[in-house]
Amino acid sequence: MKTAILFPGQGSQYVGMGKDLFDGYAEARQRFERANEVLGFDIASVMFGSGDESKAEAEGEALKQTDVTQPALLIHSMASWAVLQSRGVAPAMAAGHSLGEYSALTAAGALTFDDGVRIARERGRLMAGAGSDRKGAMAAVLGLDAAAVTSACDEVTSEGDGVVQPANFNSTDQVVISGDASAVERAMSLIGERGARRVIALPVSGAFHSPLMEDARAGLAEALDSLEIRSPACPVYLNVTAEPTRDPEEIRRRLLEQLTSPVRWTQIMQHMKEAGADRFIEVGAGKVLSGLAKRTLGRDAATAQAGKFDELADITPA
Please identify every residue annotated as catalytic. Answer: 98, 209
Cα torsion at 267, 269, 275, 280 (round to 10°)?
A: 170
DSSP-assigned letter for residue 118: H
What residue spans of the chain are helical by DSSP H? 19-24, 26-39, 43-48, 56-64, 66-86, 100-107, 113-133, 146-158, 181-193, 217-225, 248-258, 265-274, 288-297
Q: How far is 272 from 39, CA to CA, in rounded Å?
A: 34
Residue-wise burial string across 118-154, b where 16 or more C-beta atoms lie within 10 A, e elsewhere: bbbbbbbbbbbbbbeebebbbbbbeebebebbbebbe
Which amino acid is residue 59, in one-letter code?
E
Q: What is the CA radius of gyration of the chain?
A: 19
Q: How far is 128 from 178, CA to CA, in rounded Å?
A: 15
State how far the alpha carbon of 188 is from the alpha carbons of 115, 146, 170, 175, in Å: 38, 14, 17, 12
Strand order from edge to edge, sheet including 174-180: 164-171, 174-180, 136-142, 198-201
